[in-house]
Amino acid sequence: MKNLFLLFLSALLVSSVFAKRAAPIEVPALAVGDVTISAPHFAQINGVPIRGGVLEARDSRTKRLIWSVQVYKTKYDLGLEKDIQDVFIKTLSHDVTHGLLIMSDERDRVFVVDLKTRKVTPLERSGTTQKAEAVAPNRSLPG
């Protein structure tokens, strides 16, 4: 009976350890002229809370939100805890020459955001940088 209890307790502890994820990486904000662009882990667009995948542009002096864009959406499995399914932005860089933001997420997907139009383009990683060159010439993919 004691062994059964210890086995149950061990299984419970192991499952709770694996159910939690590590904290997401803090992504440094970028200064683009008088604007600061950041990738907050938790944001709101039109009052709707969003976990990951959002870029925000704020006035560097007043911190007023100028615009935000949802770069990607995360599909959640209702049978699993939300926090272990969250996907956050992990890198963010600025291609000054072409006016682009290049970012990657925790699933190693790469996206380009045009700063003028805020159009999001997902890049495919097919072993070549051909698609990246078409969107962001002379810019290599992270990783």
In the numeric block, the tokens 């600061």 are attached to: 36
Please name which of 123, 116, 133, 135 lies closest in space to residue 69, comparing C-alpha atoms: 116
Decide: 60 and 31 in contact? Cβ < 8 Å. yes
Over residues 70-90, the mean pLDDT reads 92
Residues 76, 91: Cα–Cα separation, whole Å: 22
Q: Provide the 3-class DSSP secondary structure of residue 29.
A: coil
- What tens digit of pLDDT does each residue of 7-48 get? 454 544 444 445 577 888 899 999 999 999 999 999 988 888
CATH of 26-135, one of 3.10.310.10, 3.40.50.10300, 2.40.10.480, 2.60.40.60: 2.40.10.480
Mean pLDDT (the chain) is 82
CA 31, chain centre distance (Å): 18
Decide: 89 and 71 in contact? Cβ < 8 Å. yes
Residues 115, 90: Cα–Cα separation, whole Å: 19
Single-letter residue type at 64? R
Indicate if the pLDDT at residue 133 is higher than 70: no
pTM over 0.85: no
pLDDT above 90: percentage of residues in the chain: 61
Q: Where are the domains of the chain?
A: 26-135
